[in-house]
Structure 1
């Protein structure tokens, strides 16, 4: 039979179990034990405070354990403040460990600033130890003789940690190197000099200090490939000749149109003159009739005029007759 004391005992045990479950859920006891086992002294109240500040304790304590094991002197406040600022604590700690192993001077504040600036601080440290090769696309330049020369370069760069914040990226380095290649090729009188000495491009470009203001230090610029392109000078001359031809044709067409217009104008004047002649000829009979009425000319004079006109017409008709010899030839 279950008595009232037994029920109270069972209820107390249940409350204790619930309290322990809530305690182990809210307080990361296992994480605290792992930290103590690794030699990282952190109080349980500090972990509870992280929970209250909405900080995931494992995101801070686990990187702290790695840092202490690597011999770095970091505090929970530093890591927690970087986490609250939106940074990646684990990546920063890994970068600090890598820099410490490679004897690269990198403070936590500097690494946190680089991480908050949006750059991969661990990749930057690795690039400082192992330089990176950036390959440019084919960059075209035209020598003074009009021949196009295409060159591809390999740029060996090393990350400059001091200039990662605010320094330009890979695109700027590629653009500056491309500009240097174009100007170097364009300054050569003969394209053959560029083909004979490709290192002339790399030496000239490297001497310009193109890494200033960037997040990298250029170690070397090597010409990986070089090729001949188009004869730009000949194409320009051809285009100019074609343009001159079109201009000449346009001017000739303009002169032809003007000549046609003048011809049409002259034809119009001739037609006008013919019309005036016909008009004047039409007035001749009227004038003769008037002269006969007024007695200025006699009948014999009029007959002589008619005979002369008939004789003239006859001579014109005879002149139009074709020679028989010419007809036989046809």
Structure 2
């Protein structure tokens, strides 16, 4: 800083001397050039003092980051510390940092300005490079900008992850309930080992879809078994049938294995259903018998009403007999016995 101040003072003194001795337009031009040079020297000195350490770090690491790039980052609001650290890590890891087709400074700046996590992308590419997994910068940055954790995806590709099926945290259930053809309920808990499929990570289905597909396939496989003894004697039959269905299609994961962790015998659903059906049939028969009884009682009452009606008609008819006899006597149609 002291040397820069001394140089600026010397330049100003030289400019004053030229202005005093100079004549005409030439002196003014020389003075203006000196002032411009002093200004540019001051600007370069400012940026060198501010970013000189980063530039020297990149230079010693053969990271190919120029001072002009650091100055450009200052005006484009890019954090140069992140870019330099990413380039240094990429260079030391042996990645391609060529300016044309490699992890260049410009591409890192573009990803930073797009809102991506530059360090996470670089860590993921280095991990994939060490594990010999094909993953370039464009694919990694696209996964990162899509909202997926690209480093976690690479780690899952290297170290497969185990998913509980069903997952109590998601569904609140600890087991799957399946019923064999003989009506016995089996409560199953499975473990699904998956690894990330980087090619389908963008747009691929998530863990929830994998759990749903595996659970559906397990229930369907157990439901097609003749008896629950077949499943209990050979649990790998279920996992083998499920694996053959290709349940990881169009998902972000590749299913490595499906293992039946636990099988418990539940209720006899068939017997309970038959009992419920028999009880329901009994209730229906009772209802029908009660209806017939009610109909018979109603018919009996109807017959009693008819008897009462006919009896009343008989009484009316018997009451008319004396009237008819009296009328006959009065008319002389009936002759009494004189004796």
TM norm. shorter chain > 0.5: yes
**What is the aligned length?**
285
In the alignment, which residue of structure 1 is the partner of 2:201?
A: 164
Q: Is the 8 A contact 1:27 1:47 kept in 2?
A: no
How far apart are 1:44 and its partner, in Å?
Answer: 3.3
Rounded to whole Å, the distance in 2 between the matches of 1:288 and 1:28 is 146
In the alignment, which residue of structure 2 is the partner of 1:51?
A: 74
TM-score (norm 1): 0.77
Worse overlay, 64-73 or 146-155: 64-73
Moved over 6 A (4+): none
| 2:240 is the counterpart of 1:203 | yes
How far apart are 1:29 and its partner, in Å?
Answer: 5.2
Query: Of 76, 80, 84, which aligns to 2:105?
Result: 76
Query: Of 296, 300, 307, which aligns to 1:259?
Result: 296
Equivalences for 1:119-138 in 2 at 5 Å? 119-137=148-166, 138=175
How far apart are 1:212 and its partner, in Å?
Answer: 2.4
Q: RMSD of aligned C-alpha atoms?
A: 2.8
Q: Is the 8 A contact 1:152 1:223 kept in 2?
A: yes
How far apart are 1:133 and its partner, in Å?
Answer: 0.9
Larger Rg: 1
In the alignment, which residue of structure 2 is the partner of 1:315?
A: none
How far apart are 1:195 and its partner, in Å?
Answer: 0.6
In the alignment, which residue of structure 1 is the partner of 2:281?
A: 244
How far apart are 1:231 and its partner, in Å?
Answer: 1.0
Rounded to whole Å, the distance in 1 between the matches of 2:82 and 2:312 is 112
Q: Is the 8 A contact 1:27 1:48 kept in 2?
A: no
Unmatched tracts of structure 1, length 5 or more:
1-8, 302-330
Rounded to whole Å, the distance in 1 between the matches of 2:78 and 2:312 is 112
SS of the residue corresponding to residue 105 of structure 1 reads coil
In the alignment, which residue of structure 2 is the partner of 1:224?
A: 261
Unmatched tracts of structure 2, length 5 or more:
1-8, 13-38, 98-102, 167-174
Deviations 1:108-146 (A, max 9, x none): 111111112221110111111111111112222211111
| 2:147 is the counterpart of 1:110 | no
Deviations 1:9-28 (A, max 9, x none): 9xx9xxx9xx99xx57x965
Rounded to whole Å, the distance in 2 between the matches of 1:99 and 1:41 is 23
Rounded to whole Å, the distance in 2 between the matches of 1:153 and 1:64 is 44
In the alignment, which residue of structure 2 is the partner of 1:94?
A: 123
In the alignment, which residue of structure 2 is the partner of 1:270?
A: 307
Rounded to whole Å, the distance in 2 between the matches of 1:144 and 1:292 is 95
Rounded to whole Å, the distance in 1 between the matches of 2:336 and 2:86 is 144
In the alignment, which residue of structure 2 is the partner of 1:62?
A: 85
SS of the residue corresponding to residue 270 of structure 2 reads helix
